[in-house]
Amino acid sequence: MSMDSNCESIEKLSATAIRSEMSASANAICNAIIIHDEIHSTNRWMMDELTAGRLCKGDICIAESQTNGRGRLGRKWESPGNSGLYASLLWSEKNGEFSEKNASLLTLAMGVAVANALKGIGISEIGIKWPNDILMREKKISGILVERVVKNSVTYWVVGIGLNIGGEIPVVDSSAVMPGSLSECYPDSLEKRNYIASKIFCSVFESCSDLFMRGGESVVQSWGSYDYLNGKKIVIKNADGTVLRGMAGGVFDDGSLRVFHGSVIARYYSGETSVRIQ
What pLDDT, on a 0 to 100 scale, did the predictor assign at position 8? 57
Reduce the secondary structure of 29-69 to three states and give it as a string: HCCCEEEEEEECCHHHHHHHHHHCCCCCCCCEEEEEEECCC
Model pLDDT for residues 98-116, shown as the tens digit of each residue: 656 567 789 999 999 999 9
Q: Which of the two residues, 167 and 224, has the higher pLDDT score?
A: 224
What proportion of the chain, given as a percentage, has pLDDT over 70? Answer: 85
Model pLDDT for residues 188-213, shown as the tens digit of each residue: 898 999 999 999 999 999 999 988 88
Widest distance between CA atoms in the chain: 58
Distance CA 16, CA 194 (A): 9
Model pLDDT for residues 33-71, shown as the tens digit of each residue: 999 999 989 999 999 999 999 999 999 999 998 886 555
Q: What is the CATH number of domain 2-224?
A: 3.30.930.10
Provide the CATH topology of domain 233-277: SH3 type barrels. (2.30.30)
Question: Are 172 and 129 in contact, with CB atoms under 8 Å apart?
Answer: no
**SS3 at position 165:** coil
Q: What is the pTM of this model?
A: 0.89
Bridge partners of residue 234, in order along the sequence: 246, 277
**Torsion angles phi and psi, residue 28, rounded to 5:** -70, -35
- Provide the pairing of β-strand 33-39 with 60-66: parallel
Distance CA 59, CA 53 (A): 12
Distance CA 150, CA 97 (A): 12
Residue 10 has pLDDT above 90, yes or no: no
Q: Give the length of the chain.
A: 278
Residue ranges covered by each domain of the chain: 2-224, 233-277
